[in-house]
Amino acid sequence: MIIKEGVKKMFQVENIRKDFPILLRKVNGKPLIYFDNAATSQTPKQVIDVIVDYYTNYNANIHRGVHTLSQEATDKYEEARHKIQKHFNAKKAPEIIFTSGTTHSINIISSGFEALLNEGDEVIVSALEHHSNIVPWQMLCEKTGAILKVIPMNQLGELEINEYDKLLSKKTKLVFVNHISNALGTINPIKNIIDKAHKVGAAVLIDGAQACPHIKPDVQELDVDFYVASAHKICGPTGVGMLYGKEEWLNKLPPYQGGGEMIATVSFEKTTYADLPHKFEAGTPNICGGIAFGKAIDYMNAIGFEAIMSYENELLRYGTSQLLEIEGLTIYGQSKNKASVISFNLDGIHPYDVGTLLDKMGIAVRTGHHCAQPVMDYYKIPGTIRASFSFYNTKEEIDILVKGVKKAKLMLS
Per 3-state DSSP, the chain is made up of helix, strand and coil in percentages (nearest 5) of 45, 20, 35
Minimum distance from CB of 211 to ligand PLP (Å)? 8
Is 43 among the residues that bind ligand PLP (CB under 6 A)?
no
- Please tell me the distance from the alpha carbon of residue 291 to that of residue 276, in angstroms, as a whole number: 19
Is 343 among the residues that bind ligand PLP (CB under 6 A)?
no
Is 159 among the residues that bind ligand PLP (CB under 6 A)?
no
The distance from CA 94 to its chain's CA centroid, rounded to whole angstroms, is 21
Letter for the amino acid at 218? D
Judge contact between 79 and 85, C-beta under 8 A.
no
Minimum distance from CB of 132 to ligand PLP (Å)? 4
Is 74 among the residues that bind ligand PLP (CB under 6 A)?
no
Comparing CB distances to ligand PLP, the nearer of 74 and 188 is 188
Minimum distance from CB of 37 to ligand PLP (Å)? 10
- Please tell me the distance from the alpha carbon of residue 212 to that of residue 20, in angstroms, as a whole number: 19
Hey, which residues between 189 and 218 contact ligand PLP (CB under 6 A)?
207, 209-210
Whether residue 212 lies in the annotated active site: no
Judge contact between 347 and 353, C-beta under 8 A.
no
Comparing CB distances to ligand PLP, the nearer of 182 and 393 is 182
User: CB neighbours of 340 closer than 8 A, spacing ≥ 6?
Assistant: 185, 214, 312, 313, 315, 316, 319, 388, 389, 390
Is 103 among the residues that bind ligand PLP (CB under 6 A)?
yes
Q: Could you say which of 44, 101, 277, 355 contacts ligand PLP (CB under 6 A)?
A: 101
CA distances from 349 to 357, 382, 383 (A): 12, 11, 11
Q: How many residues at the interface with ligand PLP, by CB under 6 A?
A: 12
Minimum distance from CB of 363 to ligand PLP (Å)? 21
Is 133 among the residues that bind ligand PLP (CB under 6 A)?
yes
Is 102 among the residues that bind ligand PLP (CB under 6 A)?
yes
Q: Are strands 341-346 and 363-364 parallel, antiparallel or unpaired?
A: unpaired
Q: Where along the sequence are the contacts to ligand PLP (CB under 6 A)?
A: 101-103, 130, 132-133, 178, 182, 207, 209-210, 230
Active site residues: 371
